[in-house]
Chain A
Amino acid sequence: MLFAKTVVGACALLVVALELCSVYLVRRYSVTFARVSRQYMEAVRARPAGPGEPISVLLVGNSLLLDGVDVAQLQERTSKSLRIYPIFLEGTGYYDWLYGLHRLFRHGARPQVIVVGLETYSALDNGVWEETPALLFDARDVLGAASDMRLDHTATTGLMLSHWSAFWGMRSLFRRRILRALIPNYDDLFPFIRPDDLTLPNGQDLEAMVSARVRNLRELCEAHGAKLIIVIPPTPASENEVRQMVNASEKVGVKALAPIDTVKLAPNFYEADAIHLNAAGAVRFTSALADDLPKTVSAATNHISQ
Chain B
Amino acid sequence: MLFDSLLASYFFYGWWDWRFLGLMVGATTADFFIAQNLLPGRPDSSRKKWLILSLLINLTILGIFKYYDFFAGSFVGMMNQLGFHHLPLPLIRIILPPGISFYTFEEIAYVVDVYKGKVAPSNSFLDYGLYISLFPHLIAGPIQRPGSLLPQIQKERSFNADQFFSGLMLIFSGLIRKCVVADNCALLANAAFGGQLGPPSFWVVLIGVYGFAWQVYGDFSGYTDIARGSAQLLGFDFVVNFRQPYLSQSLREFWRRWHISLSTWLRDYLYIPLGGSRNGQWKTCRNLFVTLVLAGLWHGANWTYVVFGAIHGIFLSFERFFLPAAKRPQDAVPPGGWAGALSVWAQRVFIFNVFCVSLAFFRAPTLGAAVHLLAGLGHFAWQTQYVAALVMLCVFSIPLFIADLLMEARKQEYPFAEAPYAFRTAMAVLAFVVLALFSGSQSSTFVYFQF
Interface positions of A (Cβ within 8 A of B): 1-4, 6-7, 10-11, 14, 18, 130, 152-155, 158-159, 162, 167-168, 171-172, 174-175, 178-179, 182-186, 188-189, 192-193, 195-197
- Residue B196 contacts which of A154, A185, A192 (CB distance < 8 angstroms)? A192
Taking CB atoms and an 8 Å cut-off, the chain B residues in 386-404 that contact chain A are 387-389, 391-392, 395
Neighbouring B residues of A195 by C-beta, 8 Å: 187, 190, 440, 442
Q: How far is the CA of A172 from the CA of B161 in the complex (A)?
A: 36
- Residue B385 contacts which of A14, A158, A189, A197 (CB distance < 8 angstroms)? A189
In contact, A183 and B388 (Cβ under 8 angstroms):
yes
In contact, A184 and B388 (Cβ under 8 angstroms):
yes
Task: Report the minimal beta-carbon distance from A171 to chain B, rounded to whole angstroms.
Answer: 6
In contact, B421 and A3 (Cβ under 8 angstroms):
yes
Task: Report the minimal beta-carbon distance from A230 to chain B, rounded to whole angstroms.
Answer: 29
For the complex of A and B, 4 pairs with smallest distance between CB atoms: A154-B443, A189-B388, A3-B421, A158-B441
In contact, A182 and B391 (Cβ under 8 angstroms):
yes
In contact, B443 and A193 (Cβ under 8 angstroms):
no
Neighbouring A residues of B433 by C-beta, 8 Å: 14, 18
Instruction: Given A4-B165, A11-B432, A182-B395, verify A189-B441 contact (CB < 8 Å).
Output: no
In contact, A3 and B422 (Cβ under 8 angstroms):
yes
Q: How far is the CA of A153 from the CA of B445 in the complex (A)?
A: 13
Q: Does B425 lie at the interface of the complex (its beta carbon under 8 Å from any beta carbon of A)?
A: yes
In contact, A183 and B391 (Cβ under 8 angstroms):
yes
Taking CB atoms and an 8 Å cut-off, the chain B residues in 418-451 that contact chain A are 421-422, 424-425, 428-429, 432-433, 436-438, 440-443
In this complex, the member of A130, A159, A193 whose beta carbon has the largest number of chain B beta carbons within 10 angstroms is A193
Neighbouring B residues of A167 by C-beta, 8 Å: 436
Q: How far is the CA of A14 from the CA of B437 in the complex (A)?
A: 13
The secondary structure that dominates the B interface is helix
Given contacts A154-B443, A155-B441, A189-B389, 15 further A-B contacts (CB under 8 A): A2-B421, A3-B424, A7-B165, A7-B168, A11-B429, A18-B436, A171-B436, A172-B441, A182-B391, A183-B392, A184-B387, A185-B387, A185-B388, A188-B384, A192-B197
Q: How far is the CA of A168 from the CA of B168 in the complex (A)?
A: 23
Q: Does B188 lie at the interface of the complex (its beta carbon under 8 Å from any beta carbon of A)?
A: yes
Q: Does B191 lie at the interface of the complex (its beta carbon under 8 Å from any beta carbon of A)?
A: yes
Neighbouring B residues of A1 by C-beta, 8 Å: 161, 164-165
Q: How far is the CA of A174 from the CA of B197 in the complex (A)?
A: 25
Neighbouring A residues of B388 by C-beta, 8 Å: 183-186, 188-189
In contact, A14 and B387 (Cβ under 8 angstroms):
no
Q: How far is the CA of A6 from the CA of B437 in the complex (A)?
A: 21
Neighbouring B residues of A184 by C-beta, 8 Å: 387-388, 391
Neighbouring A residues of B422 by C-beta, 8 Å: 3
Q: How many residues of B contact A (CB 8 A)?
A: 33
Q: How far is the CA of A11 from the CA of B430 in the complex (A)?
A: 9
Q: How far is the CA of A192 from the CA of B385 in the complex (A)?
A: 9
Task: Report the minimal beta-carbon distance from B335 to chain A, rounded to whole angstroms.
Answer: 38
Task: Report the minimal beta-carbon distance from A187 to chain B, rounded to whole angstroms.
Answer: 8
In contact, A179 and B392 (Cβ under 8 angstroms):
yes
Task: Report the minimal beta-carbon distance from B235 to chain A, rounded to whole angstroms.
Answer: 14
Contact with A along B366-390 (1 / 0, CB 8 A): 0000000000000000001101110
Q: How far is the CA of A174 from the CA of B164 in the complex (A)?
A: 33
Closest to A187 in B: B388
Neighbouring B residues of A152 by C-beta, 8 Å: 443
- Residue A155 contacts which of B165, B389, B443 (CB distance < 8 angstroms)? B443
Q: How far is the CA of A59 from the CA of B429 in the complex (A)?
A: 45
Closest to A3 in B: B421
Neighbouring A residues of B197 by C-beta, 8 Å: 192
- Residue A185 contacts which of B165, B188, B384 (CB distance < 8 angstroms)? B384
Q: How far is the CA of A171 from the CA of B424 in the complex (A)?
A: 25
In contact, B161 and A4 (Cβ under 8 angstroms):
yes
Instruction: Given A171-B436, A185-B384, verify A14-B196 contact (CB < 8 Å).
Output: no
- What are 19 contact pairs spanning A and B, CB under 8 A? A1-B161, A3-B421, A4-B164, A7-B168, A11-B429, A153-B443, A154-B442, A158-B441, A162-B441, A171-B436, A178-B437, A184-B388, A185-B388, A186-B388, A188-B388, A189-B388, A192-B389, A193-B196, A195-B187
Q: How far is the CA of A18 from the CA of B389 in the complex (A)?
A: 29
Neighbouring B residues of A168 by C-beta, 8 Å: 436
Q: How far is the CA of A231 from the CA of B360 in the complex (A)?
A: 46
Closest to B388 in A: A189
Closest to A6 in B: B425
In contact, B437 and A4 (Cβ under 8 angstroms):
no
Task: Report the minimal beta-carbon distance from B7 to chain A, rounded to whole angstroms.
Answer: 22
- Residue A7 contacts which of B387, B428, B440 (CB distance < 8 angstroms)? B428
Contact with A along B195-217 (1 / 0, CB 8 A): 01100000000000000000000
Q: How far is the CA of A232 from the CA of B395 in the complex (A)?
A: 40
Instruction: Given A4-B161, A182-B395, A189-B385, verify A10-B429 contact (CB < 8 Å).
Output: yes
Closest to A186 in B: B388
Closest to B392 in A: A183
In contact, B165 and A3 (Cβ under 8 angstroms):
yes
In contact, B425 and A192 (Cβ under 8 angstroms):
no
Q: How far is the CA of A174 from the CA of B437 in the complex (A)?
A: 7
Neighbouring A residues of B437 by C-beta, 8 Å: 171, 174-175, 178
In contact, A186 and B441 (Cβ under 8 angstroms):
no
Neighbouring B residues of A178 by C-beta, 8 Å: 437
Closest to B438 in A: A175
Q: How far is the CA of A41 from the CA of B371 in the complex (A)?
A: 58
Task: Report the minimal beta-carbon distance from A221 to chain B, rounded to whole angstroms.
Answer: 31
Neighbouring A residues of B387 by C-beta, 8 Å: 184-185
Q: How far is the CA of A159 from the CA of B442 in the complex (A)?
A: 10
Neighbouring B residues of A2 by C-beta, 8 Å: 421
Neighbouring A residues of B429 by C-beta, 8 Å: 7, 10-11, 14
Q: How far is the CA of A141 from the CA of B425 in the complex (A)?
A: 39
Q: How far is the CA of A182 from the CA of B168 in the complex (A)?
A: 30
Task: Report the minimal beta-carbon distance from A77 to chain B, rounded to whole angstroms.
Answer: 41
Q: How far is the CA of A150 from the CA of B429 in the complex (A)?
A: 34
Closest to B197 in A: A192
Task: Report the minimal beta-carbon distance from B430 to chain A, rounded to whole angstroms.
Answer: 10
Instruction: Given A130-B441, A158-B441, A185-B387, verify A193-B161 contact (CB < 8 Å).
Output: no
Q: How far is the CA of A38 from the CA of B285 in the complex (A)?
A: 74
Closest to B422 in A: A3
Q: How far is the CA of A175 from the CA of B180 in the complex (A)?
A: 11
Neighbouring A residues of B421 by C-beta, 8 Å: 2-3
Q: How far is the CA of A1 from the CA of B395 in the complex (A)?
A: 34
Taking CB atoms and an 8 Å cut-off, the chain B residues in 171-203 that contact chain A are 187-188, 190-191, 196-197
Q: How far is the CA of A153 from the CA of B429 in the complex (A)?
A: 26
Task: Report the minimal beta-carbon distance from A69 to chain B, rounded to whole angstroms.
Answer: 30
Q: How far is the CA of A154 from the CA of B425 in the complex (A)?
A: 27
Task: Report the minimal beta-carbon distance from A2 to chain B, rounded to whole angstroms.
Answer: 8
Neighbouring B residues of A4 by C-beta, 8 Å: 161, 164-165, 168
